Structure 1
Amino acid sequence: MASSVQKLTPLAAVEKLSERIIRILGCNPGLHTLQGTNTYLIGSGKRRILVDTGSPGNSEYIKGLQKALTDSSSSIQEIVLTHWHHDHIGGVKQIFSDVLNDEVDVFQSSRDLSQPDEDISPVKAIHTPGHTEEHMILYLEEENAVLAGDTILGESTAVFEDLHSYMQSLQKILDLKPSILYPGHGIVIKNPLEHVTYYINHRNERENQILDVLQKQAGTNLSTLDIVKVVYKGLNPSLIPSACGNARHHLKKLVKDDKVEHIVEEDEERWCIVTSKSNI
């Protein structure tokens, strides 16, 4: 799910992206879904993996999926869900009723942060929490490709539930050194290392801005809004609540990093920089 929207590159309803990957657009465009949710058929044989399923009750998506299966003379072997947001799991019920002739397995990650990576037919599922706690990406070794779910988007930055985990997951993707990224929303990313590095640098820059505000007022407990007014100077007032939510994610990460202290004063959250303490 995206954090912002701009003029977007048009995407075809169904498009063969490589010898092993067909994208079927979810036909659910919007502020948070960009052109729509990208779902993918993975494989080159008669039985293929479907990655994500779009939003519920979307007949146009089902038509696109049926066309992709017919054109590729294939059927669905199993369904893999990158995470539990409704625009990725919503189509499961309709696919079972309108597309499948046989029962198939549905694979999804759990919220167990210690779970190992897992092989699923031609792809490896890698746990990448942050966007959501149970989020995973898929690595297709034959093409050195990553299906990034909503950890990385084309033409936008992503939202996240836990920034500390999210930054670690971005590094996991970077460590894979993929040649190409297929995101959960937006265009194919053909410069993945540059793109992921931008994501990391963007978050680090925002973090440094927040630390700078707290450092300059060391010894003072600041509210989230106090920080936002400095870091997001001149922001449209209607966007301040979203900016506060974003800043709070950064602040919670900085607490985990032992750089910031979280204080509650009269039922209001406040934050201050952690300073070195004397042992005397």
Structure 2
Amino acid sequence: MAAVIPAVTRISPRIIRVLGCNPGAMTLQGTNTYIVGTGKRRILIDTGDNDVPQYINHLRNVLQYDNIDLAHIFLTHWHPDHIGGLEDVLDQLPEQTKNCEIWKFPLNKDEKLIGEFEQFKDGQEISVEGATIRVIHTPGHTKDHVSLHLLEEDAVFSGDCILGEGTAVFEDLYDYMESLRTLLRIQPEIIYPGHGNVIYDPIERIQFYLNHRQERETQIMEILRCNERASFTEGELVDLIYQNLPKNLAKAAAMNVNHHLQKLLKEEKVKKLDSMWQHNQTIKSIC
């Protein structure tokens, strides 16, 4: 069982974690937001969900107690549990956000979001007192997803690319695998995820994620290869691959299987007939 995450945690001399108070099947104990820096003007990473008074109260208390203003708000990606609370933060904490710049990697969906964003660029560095953050574009979970490398601690804020428990969903498997390899090359000392507890074994965790995705692909291919004359729906593959899967996670599992199948389709390892999937029998296989 995962350790309980307090509402507010002073993780290091330059990092305060404020829990988004929005627990759920996909958000675990809630969205982790982080205040970063050591001076009066600091960075807030992510803003949780909209209309969560508990979160705003905790954030307000921290900012007032430590006499902090927000110089920047960094948004790791467009999902509502990371960006949804932005309007509440700006509206309800006007003094602490008066001269705040809001940063995000560009995406077409942004036209539906409030306000104007400063646009992150891959490799860009932004500093406040006590903290220098390098932006790493890590697409896959979403196209606009970024991770943030805190140079002073060799720490990575991983957003939803890597979670404190379990594995992440993604939009594009190829991009996601490349992003994991990018983070592996950085060799961070520690990972602060968007959900779940701090990751103190980052290299092992990233490698686990890579191995896990390869394992899923192998499982899919084994089922299709060993049943070359049969066709399967994504739901049938989920039932065969995932054991004792809670019903509320079945949709996410089917989405992950679909992404694997789309990748395999591009590689011409599988065929799709309507909504059914088959092994591509033009490729020689041994079962």
CA distance in 2: counterparts of 1:274 and 1:148, whole angstroms: 40
Pairwise CA RMSD: 2.3
Aligned to 1:116: 122
Of 130, 146, 151 in structure 1, the residue corresponding to residue 140 of structure 2 is 130
Match of 1:182, SS? strand
SS of 2:22's equivalent in the other structure is coil
Q: Within 2, Cα distance between the matches of 1:80 and 1:153?
A: 18
CA distance in 2: counterparts of 1:11 and 1:238, whole angstroms: 23
2:169 matched residue in structure 1: 159
Q: Summarize deviations over 1:63-121 as a string: whole Å, max 9, x none.
A: 11112222332210011100111111111111111213213211001249xx6332222
Q: Given residue 176 of structure 1, which amino acid in structure 2 is its aligned partner? A: I
The one-letter code matched in structure 1 to 2:49 is S
Contact 2:133/2:150, CA 8 A, preserved across alignment: yes
SS at match of 1:142: coil
Shift of 1:262: 3.6
Deviation at 1:58, TM superposition (A): 1.4
Work out whether residues 137 and 144 of structure 2, in 8 Å CA contact, stay in contact via their aligned partners in 1: yes
Q: 1:10 aligns to what?
A: 4
User: What residue in structure 2 maps to residue 79 of structure 1?
Assistant: 73
2:262 is the counterpart of 1:272: no
Return the alpha-carbon distance in structure 2 between the equivalents of residues 234 and 77 of structure 1: 46
Count of aligned pairs between the two proteins: 266
| Long gaps (5+) in structure 2 | 109-120
* SS state at 1:172 partner: helix
Report how far residue 129 of structure 1 moved. Answer: 0.9
For 2:273, give the aligned amino acid.
V
Runs of 5+ unmatched residues, structure 1: 1-6
CA gap of 1:183–1:237, structure 2 versus 1, over 3 A, is closer
1:143 counterpart = 2:137: no
Contact 1:219 1:273 in 2 (8 A): no
Distance 1:197 1:227, change over 3 A: same
C-alpha distance 270-241 of structure 1, shift in aligned 2 (>3 A): same
Task: Say which of 183, 187, 191 aligns to 2:193.
Answer: 183
Q: Is contact 2:159–2:193 with CA below 8 Å preserved after alignment?
A: yes
Structural mapping, 1:45-124, within 5 Å: 45-101=39-95, 102-111=98-107, 116-121=122-127, 122-124=132-134
- Shift, 1:160, TM fit: 1.4
Distance 1:74 1:198, change over 3 A: same
Distance 2:246 2:93 in 1: 46
Cα deviation code 1:201-251 (max 9, x no counterpart): 111111111111222234655433443343346767776554433311211
Contact 1:222 1:272 in 2 (8 A): no
